[in-house]
Structure 1
């Protein structure tokens, strides 16, 4: 609901973005490309997020998302740090009937794996070099106001930042979304993802593995070799919430032995090369992602299971769509916060966000059904997909993010 009308004054730019993570900074850069200025306010200190070291946190960047980074001029900085995904192997507990997705010659890769730190470093450096973006780290917001004249946010030191449009890119627990009264559908999976980096004896051959167990998926994500030439993989291991503390406290040797058992020796001898961290797995989806002079992007709008590695890519699709509707609106004489601009964004992103969220939730539930009969049925289905090339291509196009109506930023 809109605040009472008042004169919006303060340090004014076109758009105020709350949240300076991967999605928020990508949006600022996408807007700068079309001449739209922005304030980016983030609660964190970037130096802590850009610290040296591989902590296992990594993201799959789809073909479409990579196209966006190329269009934003970031490809040359990122290219040396990305590990191409040549194939995706899907397995039910390493039993017979694996499903493999491998693109046709000329189609390129299925995506690239990046350590999150490398993505942050490139986006942060580009942001600091872009005059259209004013970055404000370590910012605690104490007031958000929206009215017919624009938007304004006030920091705890009294500084005010104003614009035509407010964008919430603050993540799953977005206070801006909550203040605006935008409802979400949500539930807890009762699981936790354990994340770490592994070095291993055998090369991964650029294959990403998704091995499903009744407790949850066990994902092996290929990374570039380290400076010592060791083969590396990022592990995302889903365990029951009630068992997570035990897995995190388990001695390094025992933890690695259990991980090796679950991957069936596919990578040979293993070594833990980072600390283990974890986060709870939950689902949330906001059916309405706009309000007066407000738009939600990324995890503020939707939070999905990491089962298919689509969380960040979904947020980057939000970025590309919002930037395009703002650009198209400017050509018609509409400001970024105009209601017609935001209606176009809602109509474009609402269905896609929901479809992807529903698909990942369904996969999580299907592969979580225990028992030999359920496993046999799943493997029969996987075998049918393996033999049906048109179906396999559809799944690969979805994974690469190249299906449907794409915003211009996502096109090659």
Structure 2
């Protein structure tokens, strides 16, 4: 069978993989992107990803370079304030409320929030505008053979692709990473997350709220209004058995549960979508690159959904890789470029994965005296302005 040549082959057509295809295609590279599943681009369709993604400030230039931001911005909800509520007292009610306001850093919000299914729809629309990009839905990567000069990729339909650079964006069980023999370190928390949308009578005023009690955070993230009512995305992290129990509740009982857990800070919540369940782990690959191959996104690192870190770490991977590729396109995918990529990203990724791991463990704690210590720490950190600003900059990935 004829081998199809390309500059870059991307394994994985999730949000990170599609962004990478648009970014490298917009930069003039020839790109082939394949994913074993056809992207679901409607909220009502079976298999739709009802989670949302918050793009923080540093991610916007990546989207702009890919000519994606103009397509996405009209659908985005601004995230002006990150509110942390500790409700870990004897009674499930707010006892510490602290607001981290983006206005303390700049005129821009922390970021913008969009549904994942919509991101796929708009990103696919961008790829159709790029004649140098081919997207292959329903096609899996089955084998990878690398050598010093190029990589050979075998696809599930029998096609063979030769590429100067392979980008593994194929998730936490990455076929490409396994083919390279790169090990991972995984932490399991016994948690799962429920993701769904709600409407509520009190406007969110562009405030993203994390409510901490035990089991994990209950996070409300602003979405654009729905049918004239304020709307938010919710990620509720709890122990696996508890999530399964909650997911099976009738709607009225589930709404009673989310209203108790949310402390009704936005008034009574009304379920606005079906409920989906996602496993929670943290994971990091031992290396960010192998021969002719770069790992990005969940192929390289996985974190619990706290502080909008996951995809923004992935776009930082992409930004570093794109910068190196454009600086020396003649040597795309060679050992020097990929070693530089690993060195640029891996230490930061290790630090961020460790930080999110610590925050998640703190959010899970059950004993009352530890919950009291958590509330005291939140008060202490917030009260010192330089520390508060440093925490905000760290969350955005700014120096």
TM tier relative to shorter chain: over 0.9
Pick closer, same or farther for the CA change 1:323–1:175 going to 2, 3 Å.
same
1:289-328 to structure 2, matched below 5 A, reads: 289-328=288-327
Pick closer, same or farther for the CA change 1:69–1:157 going to 2, 3 Å.
closer
Secondary structure of the residue that 2:210 maps to in structure 1?
strand
Deviation at 1:74, TM superposition (A): 2.0
Q: Deviations over 1:289-344 (max 9, x none)?
A: 111111101000001111222101111111111111111122xx42x120000011
Runs of 4+ in 1 over 4 A off after TM superposition: none
1:52-201 to structure 2, matched below 5 A, reads: 52-53=43-44, 56-93=50-87, 94-104=93-103, 106-201=106-201
Q: 1: distance between equivalents of 2:11 and 2:348?
A: 23
Secondary structure of the residue that 1:216 maps to in structure 2?
coil
Q: CA RMSD in A?
A: 1.7
Q: 2: distance between equivalents of 1:51 and 1:220?
A: 22
Checking the alignment, whether the CA contact within 8 Å between 1:212 and 1:218 is kept in structure 2 is yes
Structure showing greater relative contact order (alpha-carbon pairs closer than 8 Å, 6 or more residues apart): 1
Checking the alignment, whether the CA contact within 8 Å between 2:151 and 2:162 is kept in structure 1 is yes
Gaps of 5+ in 2: 88-92
Q: 1: distance between equivalents of 2:318 and 2:124?
A: 16
Gaps of 5+ in 1: 1-7, 405-412
Checking the alignment, whether the CA contact within 8 Å between 1:110 and 1:399 is kept in structure 2 is no
Deviation at 1:271, TM superposition (A): 1.2
Q: 1: distance between equivalents of 2:249 and 2:128?
A: 42
Pick closer, same or farther for the CA change 1:287–1:156 going to 2, 3 Å.
closer
Q: 2: distance between equivalents of 1:179 and 1:172?
A: 14
Q: 2: distance between equivalents of 1:345 and 1:274?
A: 40
Q: Give the TM-score taking structure 1 as reference length.
A: 0.91
Secondary structure of the residue that 1:164 maps to in structure 2?
strand
Checking the alignment, whether the CA contact within 8 Å between 2:26 and 2:130 is kept in structure 1 is no
Deviation at 1:52, TM superposition (A): 4.2
Name the stretch that deviates more: 128-137 or 313-322: 128-137
Q: 2: distance between equivalents of 1:383 and 1:244?
A: 30
